Homo-oligomer: A and B are copies of this chain.
């Protein structure tokens, strides 16, 4: 970080290169939602984007938006849900210390938010995809994305799928996905409403009035430095700090060196700029953690740690497996899977065949396998024997994997080496009010400054479910845009 991060006094600006009522920094999901809502509230809006076009990380994402409480899509797919049910799940799944007030707020507004997305033209195909996986293989619209139907969550709240995916008929991984079909209609809506945008323009610092109010931004455009005035407010929506090595080292060192599902523009600068004004932070240690294995394999094997012990139900949300493996198990895991299960996994429909892993070791017996892997003698043998004994009866008394996946492990038996098979992005950021205002460490909002998306702390304390980032990013992006327009 360089000194040009520091706030610039408005008195030092001799001429403004552009101006708007609301200036939005970043044209990803939070920025798009903020722009649509701010312009709908009557504001003249300018979006300033660092890259050559709109999209951000959102347009390259699978596109899950975590919504529930009884959306039309849930109903069309035959699922019951309620605000209370959704909140009960999230209060546990988002981790100890999750912000209960924010979760209640988000759940209460979830159905209306879905309707708003539809009204903006975001398409959802009313088809549920019920197979294990990171995402649906085609354009199905609804899926379990948080382990709602896995133990222990299925004992806490009635399981309902809440991963809503915009319909994309012609998916190309990392290029055209559900996230693209979320962004495109929102940007078109914004444009139709008169939102302006400038690209290749990278924010450098905030401009403040003598009374501390944020009144604009300084940005760099190629070799030029430009000053952009914000008559009502600045919305920071330029993503996480996953690609800031320094911030990751300070705040979330255990994800260091393994960024994933993120883009390199996520350098944390928006967070830093706000910190120069005394902005507060929250949940900077929280991360999404992907686990690089196809869930179709995971459910058919048993996952053991470096001791040869099972530690998590293999049919839960794969991101939770990633978190627990990275943080609790020293990033060490082995999937024990027999030959038949391996064939079944290959035959099963999967959207992520590129995450399918070959067996690292294959043996006739578990005793041999245990020795090959180098596990303490006897532990894995017991683990498999115990699992098999109960699986034969359709039970998993240890971890409660669903009966449909329980089958004794036979021979030949293999193991997939899943050490260091995690990666992810940061979830923490600026502390904001529920209406998107950035909060100073004194507890008061910073006048003229708003934030949403992964520049801000959202629903997650430590836990996560796929769709929470696009979910709270769009939800609180709207709030931030509306608040800025009304400032």
Contacts and interface: CB of A to CB of B under 8 A. Distances in A.
Interface of A: 1-3, 5-6, 95-99, 249-251, 253-254, 256, 272, 275-278, 280-285, 307, 309-311, 327-328, 376-379, 382, 386, 397-399, 431, 440-444, 457, 461-462
Contact of A251 (B282, B309, B444): B282
A213 to B, nearest CB: 14
A276 B6 contact: no
A158 to B, nearest CB: 23
Given A376-B398, A377-B397, A379-B386, A441 B284 contact: no
B376 A250 contact: no
A278 B205 CA distance: 13
Contacts of A96: 253-254, 256
Contact of A462 (B2, B254, B398): B254
B377 A442 contact: no
Contact of A442 (B5, B443, B444): B5
Contact of A281 (B1, B2, B281): B281
Contacts of A327: 327-328
Chain B CB within 10 Å, residue with most, of A6, A281, A442, A457: A442
Contacts of A278: 6, 275-278
5 contacts: A1-B441, A1-B442, A250-B431, A250-B457, A327-B327
A461 B98 CA distance: 22
Contacts of A461: 253
Nearest to A310: B307
A275 B462 contact: no
A380 to B, nearest CB: 11
B376 A284 contact: no
Given A281-B281, A379-B398, A441 B275 contact: yes
Contacts of A254: 96-97, 462
B249 A97 contact: yes
Contacts of A443: 1-3
A462 B377 CA distance: 31
A250 B440 contact: no
A441 B5 CA distance: 8
A371 B386 CA distance: 17
A408 to B, nearest CB: 16
A33 B311 CA distance: 46
A474 B2 CA distance: 31
Contacts of A98: 253
B253 A442 contact: no
Given A250-B431, A386-B382, A398-B376, A272 B441 contact: yes
Contacts of A431: 250
Contacts of A399: 307
Given A1-B443, A442-B5, A275 B280 contact: yes
B284 A251 contact: yes
A468 B283 CA distance: 25
A328 B256 CA distance: 19
